[in-house]
Chains A and B, each alone.
Chain A
Amino acid sequence: MISFVLKRIVVSVVLLWAVATFTFLLLQLMPGDPAAIILGGQGTPAQLAHVRTELGLNRPLFVQYGSWLGRVVHGDLGHSVISGQSVISILNQRAPVTVSLAVAGVLVSLVIGVVLGVLAAVRGGWVDRTVRLVTAAGVALPNFWLGALLVVIFSVWLRLLPAVGYASFVSAPLSWVRDMVLPVAAIAAASVAGIARQTRVSMLAALQSEYVQTLRGVGLPMRSIIYKHALRNASIPIVTIVGLLFVGLLGGAVLVEQVFALPGLGQETVQAIANHDIPVLQGLVIYTTLIVLVVNLMIDLAYAWLNPKVRYS
């Protein structure tokens, strides 16, 4: 297991470098001039040239890359060209919002999705049909549209929940829950559908397998068969999906954060693109990639724990 983890870490570092380099090069192709954006179209050509020199944009590309990579290796992602704030501090400030949104989304999706999937597989009939219909709607509805609809119903009409705002979980957990109900509902709708459907399929396969028939023949209680044996085996593909879902939720957070004015990485991404703030964009990609790599590693470890047949040489 240790050698497996070490190998994954080495691969992750190489992958991170490749993503970072590719992003650096891709962002150089991004149209626009940070100097023009900083001066808002009111600068003279001399002033624009001065700002470009200050930002180091007049240096050859390979020099810019080398300088940037050297700083990244030492944990310095540079500074925002617009605010001057360190990129690391910007991302550290905003990451908890997005990560908490994504984690809450995954947990809610997992709980509700597994419950619905088990219900559909075990009960069948109208329960199964209803679950499939509801989950189809969940997949079809865009999360930003659903978010806007939830705001109108629960904030404007019923005045039950806030339309905007974010309180830190650490400092105000109840307020955090209150502020995150609608965003999590919006972002998790499609994920619930995906997990419910996968759970249903996996459970059906597990319940029809020979070992379950054997357990039934032996006289084991159905509850024990479902939760102790069938669900455990059915959860292996679910765990795989959870990893993919987390990555998807991180991306989906961009739109949901805009709708609910959450100060997360998604909101920062939109602002950085509009401002042509390349250091922040580069930092965002590296930061997000790192989060994804860590989550995938944790998923793989969970996978191994669930399925002893998986071997890591």
Chain B
Amino acid sequence: MRLAKKVVIAVALAAMASTLAACSSGSTATTSAVASKHTTLTIGAPSGPNGLDPYNCGNGPEGNILRSGYDTLIRAAPNGTFQPSLALSWGYTSPTSFSMKLRPGVRFSDGTPMNSAAVVGNLERASKTLGQITAAFAQAVQSVTAVDPADVTIMLSKPNPDLTTILSSCAGMIVSPELLAQSSQMTNTMDGTGPYKYDASASTPGSIYTFQRKATYWNAAAYPFHTVVYKIITDFNTEFDAIRSGELDFAVGTPGEMSSATAAGLAFVQGSINFYAVDLRDREGTKVPALNNVLVRQALNYAIDRTAIIKTFFGSIGRPTDQLLNVHAPGYDVALNDSYPYDPTKAKQLLAEAGYPNGFTLPVLSTQGFELDQILQAVGGYWAKIGVKVQDEVQQIGNWEVFLISNEYPSAIFPFSGLPPYTAFAQSFGPDGPLDPFHTVNPAVDSALSQAAAATSASTMAPFITSAQKVLLNQAWYAGVGYDAVIWFYNPKVVNGIQMQQGESVPHFYNWKVPS
């Protein structure tokens, strides 16, 4: 037989074989997918946990992976309020004392009962394990005590009104005492009171995390899916292709994909997490004398067309504003949203009045991640029109985080993201805030923050937060741009009931429904 024919036949056979393999595997997958369509939920996530230790989680999608196996002490509801979880009730008995009553009858996967001793062990570990999620807790806590098997008291070294928020995050996840005693095993093992059991045999760390529902979970009604599979897909285009092809039921998206997603029959939830602003931190004028003048800082605010910038980057679902507080956050005041309407003429007048009719040069610390540098360049374009030249000091993300807490640069652009309001304000503008390296002192701000810290509930804290926000705006301590938009697509034929979580980048996997 001639060579060409042989080659053609060989190639054709190979193609048939691979197609058969693909189709047979695909058929199996499709069949099993149809059979388990309403019992298996496949969730895409752009990032995964760095190990299954709860204290390795940030505020991203990895939180849902950990929440599948671990309950938190308190649950954050989508609207920003808090609901009972492992703790049935809680509250401040004084600004430095916080008590919780635990839910009875809850057990870990290994059968051990969840009680105050287990909670104390976990929180003591949180106070000693320095990580992104535990740093705030470690700074505030003095001691944790089991009053009786159902009651726990936390004593604080200094007031911190955000303990409820902290305990609703990964820092409040409770691990079984046996696993806690072997904390090195926590990277690859889970043993919690959560709704699902981690199926290591069907998982590949860093890529796929599979969970099987527990029959005896205390709140089984909130989790109708028998199996949950998380697939880590760092490339946004790939993740979008995967949900369009039906391999995922829930995945992160971008504003530009909304029309394609809708055409593919997908639904979406949206929220906002990051507030973009240029922090004008050298308010004493040690490096840039112009920043010492409030008229200059106000001019920088008036010069920005927030609506245009936010629309460019986040479409119609972004939110232009100069108020740092997010909607529903304690202290949020809708009247503060447009404190500095776009007015370049007024901006120039203020600069001239301040003695800078020709503007000045402003170095701004930036980084490539989170679209920060792109937004800074947009802001710089508006400032250039009033004579203020931005000196873009781009640093790699690792260096950027180091410089943020140093006084190397007179200003910096960064996202105020996902922190509760008191913590956000205290860290960035408080007298000891690590993100205020120039340690600007303003008696009104410091007083408001002190009174907020001493508050024992969100409602009593709110007026002081509002007061601090007003001063920050009036004194133009930062030049705000607005809130971004976060979108998650989902297949409404497989799941619904998803609600975006206030102040977080991902909806919590809780109370999602199987469509009837």
Contact = CB atoms under 8 A, between A and B. Distances in A.
B3 interface: yes
Interface residues of B, number: 60
Contact of B241 (A93, A151, A274): A151
A177 to B, nearest CB: 5
B435 interface: yes
B247 A37 contact: no
A181 B245 contact: no
Contact of A119 (B4, B206, B233, B404): B4
B399 A31 contact: yes
Nearest to B207: A263
A261 B232 contact: yes
A125 interface: no
B238 A164 contact: yes
Interface stretch (B104-112, B272-280, B390-398): B390-398
Contact of A122 (B3, B26, B56, B401): B3
Interface string B129-145: 01111011011000000
Interface string B1-32: 00110010011000000110111111000000
Interface in B213-232: 231-232
B427 A160 contact: no
A31 B395 CA distance: 9
Contact of A45 (B50, B187, B434): B434
A163 B26 contact: no
Contact of B396 (A32, A178, A181, A262): A32
B345 interface: no
B234 interface: yes
A282 interface: no
Nearest to A89: B188
Given A44-B139, A164-B231, A268 B241 contact: no
Contacts of A74: none
Contacts of B139: 44, 47
A38 B53 contact: no
A40 B56 CA distance: 11
A48 B398 CA distance: 13
A178 B22 contact: yes
B53 A84 contact: yes
B204 A166 contact: yes
A63 B377 CA distance: 43
A223 B3 contact: yes
B28 to A, nearest CB: 9
Given A44-B434, A84-B184, A151 B238 contact: yes
A36 B245 contact: no
A225 B246 CA distance: 52
Contact of A33 (B7, B136, B206, B398): B398
B205 A178 contact: no
B238 A260 contact: yes
B335 interface: no
A267 B234 contact: yes
A280 B118 CA distance: 33
B113 interface: no
A172 to B, nearest CB: 8
A160 B18 CA distance: 11
Contacts of B25: 174-175, 177-178
Contacts of B11: 115
Interface in A150-201: 151-152, 155-156, 159-166, 174-175, 177-178, 181
B241 A166 contact: no
B402 A268 contact: no
Interface string B399-424: 10110110000000000000000000
Given A156-B244, A178-B21, A148 B237 contact: yes
A37 B245 CA distance: 35
B231 A261 contact: yes
Q: Is the interface of A mostly helix, strand, loop or mixed?
A: helix
A267 B184 CA distance: 24
B333 to A, nearest CB: 26
A40 B395 CA distance: 16
A39 interface: yes
A259 interface: yes
A123 interface: yes
A203 to B, nearest CB: 13
B234 A261 contact: yes
The CB with the most chain B CB atoms within 10 A, among A42, A175, A260, is that of: A42
A151 B238 CA distance: 8
A43 B51 contact: no
A83 B50 CA distance: 5
Given A50-B130, A83-B187, A84-B53, A261 B207 contact: yes
A232 interface: no
Interface string B350-387: 00000000000000000000000000000000000000
Contacts of A267: 206-207, 234
A30 B205 CA distance: 27
B514 interface: no
A166 B25 CA distance: 13
B58 interface: yes
Interface string A214-242: 00000000010010000000000000000
A226 B7 CA distance: 14
The CB with the most chain A CB atoms within 10 A, among B26, B130, B139, B402, is that of: B130
Interface of A: 30-34, 36-45, 47-48, 50-51, 80, 82-85, 93-94, 115, 119, 122-123, 148, 151-152, 155-156, 159-166, 174-175, 177-178, 181, 223, 226, 258-263, 267-268, 270-271, 274-276
Q: Nearest 7 CB-CB pairs, A to B? A: A32-B398, A40-B132, A263-B207, A83-B51, A36-B401, A261-B233, A83-B50
30 contacts: A31-B398, A32-B396, A32-B402, A36-B398, A36-B401, A37-B397, A37-B398, A38-B132, A39-B130, A40-B401, A41-B434, A42-B135, A44-B135, A51-B130, A85-B188, A119-B3, A148-B238, A155-B247, A163-B242, A165-B247, A166-B207, A181-B18, A223-B3, A261-B207, A261-B233, A261-B234, A261-B235, A274-B397, A275-B50, A276-B398
Interface of B: 3-4, 7, 10-11, 18-19, 21-26, 50-51, 53, 56, 58, 130-133, 135-136, 138-139, 184, 187-188, 204-208, 231-235, 237-239, 241-242, 244-247, 395-399, 401-402, 404-405, 427, 434-435
Given A41-B404, A43-B130, 13 more contacts: A33-B402, A36-B405, A40-B132, A40-B133, A45-B434, A82-B50, A85-B188, A119-B7, A164-B231, A165-B208, A258-B234, A263-B204, A270-B234
